[in-house]
Amino acid sequence: MSIKVAVIGMGQMGTHHANNYRKIPQVELYACCEWNDKRRAEVAEEYGCKVFKDYKECLADPEIDAVSIVLPDNMHREAVEYAVKYGKHILLEKPLAKELEDGKALYELTKDYDKVFTVGFLLRYDYRFAAIKEALEKKELGDIIHIYARRNSPIVGPRRYIGASDLSMHVMIHDIDYINWFMGCKPVSVFAKGRSVLLAEHNMKDVIYAIVTYENGAIANLEACWVLPENSPTIIDDRCEIVTTNGVAYVEPCDKGIKFVTPQKILYPDSRHWNYVNGLPQGDLSEEIMGFINCVANGKKPVVNVGEAYLALQVVDAIERSMKEGKEVTL
């Protein structure tokens, strides 16, 4: 018996979700939901599934077992509330919400939910980060002294999110989540500074630096920027360094391994997150969606639970408060 799935939001990421569901034998991509009329018509033709304009109508369909919610960050709360109302298994693209108040509401709503609820922090499904977590748990690296994390990208990204999100909750939160995971204890304070130049007219940050201190005394230094030039050869310039009492672990940028040089451009394609091989999606996102379906089919607990997603959002809120107040703040 197949699991009938719907994808809510058929933009860039929603399309990747839909393509992943189509490759899983026990899954039927039953429906897609997209508000834009032109895009919705394209989806109907390409995927041959039911299409909806209103996600409330889509979620009310009793045939649907599970949903990917791939909407702008500021629309997450209501969509999840309706998905819970109609008893769906839920994969919510990160973050949990744009605002902490909404995140808390979703935490309270789903912490004891009897269906699968998880948030899409895809780096949890990246072998590089999983290997570091395993080494930390086995005490091979000793205790963490400090972590440095960088995540920079071209300006084409934030132009898609004007009014719906900002740098801390959409980009830096990836690193916040896996650092929380590595630390194994709670963050206690944050000092952050940011600057708006190219995105100032949209009231969005160009760059943020944040220092997060944890209960165990370890510190994390996070850097995020999403105003690299449009012709930047990489979609994600990321790096991580974990210094411990027994060594150091490095995570190299996701674009390492392949490089194209032509008279027109130099290009480092993403080879880890949502790449395609022989027309089929591969990478972290594919593993994340397979993990979600495994939880739905076999009653497994998800890799990322709502408490962890809410904690990451609490750190984001502290970063925003620190930048506004110009001082270190506590969680």
Check whether 161 has a pLDDT greater than 90: no
How far is the C-alpha of 284 from the C-alpha of 273, rounded, in Å?
5
Whether residue 293 is found in the same domain as residue 317: no
Check whether 154 has a pLDDT greater than 70: yes
Check whether 10 has a pLDDT greater than 80: yes
Relative to beta strand 50-52, strand 27-33 is: parallel
Check whether 251 has a pLDDT greater than 80: yes
Whether residue 188 is found in the same domain as residue 295: no
pLDDT digits (tens, 9 = 90+) for 93-128: 999 999 999 999 999 999 999 999 999 999 999 999
Whether residue 77 is found in the same domain as residue 223: no
The reply to whether 229 falls in a domain is: yes
Q: What is the mean pLDDT of residues 151-173?
A: 91
Confidence of residue 268 (pLDDT cuts 50, 70, 90): confident
The reply to whether 281 falls in a domain is: no
Whether residue 321 is found in the same domain as residue 301: no
How far is the C-alpha of 187 from the C-alpha of 197, rounded, in Å?
30
Whether residue 46 is found in the same domain as residue 175: no
Whether residue 101 is found in the same domain as residue 169: no
Res 236: pLDDT: 87
Q: pTM score, two decimals? A: 0.94
| Number of domains composing the chain | 2
Whether residue 297 is found in the same domain as residue 178: no
Domain holding 110, by residue range, is 3-121+289-305
The reply to whether 282 falls in a domain is: no
Check whether 253 has a pLDDT greater than 80: no
Q: What is the mean pLDDT of residues 141-145?
A: 97
Whether residue 50 is found in the same domain as residue 140: no
Q: What is the mean pLDDT of residues 183-208?
A: 96
The reply to whether 284 falls in a domain is: no
Whether residue 139 is found in the same domain as residue 185: yes
Whether residue 52 is found in the same domain as residue 75: yes
Res 255: pLDDT: 63
The reply to whether 140 falls in a domain is: yes
> 76-85 vs 100-110: helix axis angle to the nearest 10?
10
The reply to whether 283 falls in a domain is: no
Tokens encoding 126: 């990246």
The reply to whether 20 falls in a domain is: yes
Whether residue 189 is found in the same domain as residue 319: yes
pLDDT digits (tens, 9 = 90+) for 69-96: 999 999 999 999 999 999 999 999 999 9
How far is the C-alpha of 108 from the C-alpha of 296, rounded, in Å?
21
Q: What is the mean pLDDT of residues 221-226?
A: 98
Torsion of CA 114, 116, 118, 124, to 10 degrees: 130
Tokens encoding 165: 């999100």
Distance of CA 189 to the CA centre of its chain: 23
How far is the C-alpha of 110 from the C-alpha of 92, rounded, in Å?
12
Percent of the chain, pLDDT > 70? 99
What CATH number did the domain enclosing 152 receive?
3.30.360.10
Three-state SS for 170-195 is HHHHHHHHHHHHHHCCCEEEEEEEEE
Whether residue 48 is found in the same domain as residue 110: yes
Contact in structure between 152 and 225 (CB atoms under 8 Å): yes
Q: What is the mean pLDDT of the chain?
A: 95
- In the chain, the N- to C-terminal Cα span, in Å, equals 46
Q: What is the mean pLDDT of residues 167-191?
A: 97
Determine if residue 111 is left, alpha or beta; phi over 0 gives left, psi from -120 to 50 gives alpha, anything else beta. Answer: alpha
Check whether 258 has a pLDDT greater than 80: yes
Check whether 254 has a pLDDT greater than 70: no
Question: At a CB cut-off of 8 Å and minimum separation 6, what does 180 contact?
Answer: 186, 187, 308, 311, 312, 315
pLDDT digits (tens, 9 = 90+) for 281-325: 999 999 999 999 999 999 999 999 999 999 999 999 999 999 999
What CATH number did the domain enclosing 103 receive?
3.40.50.720
Confidence of residue 269 (pLDDT cuts 50, 70, 90): confident
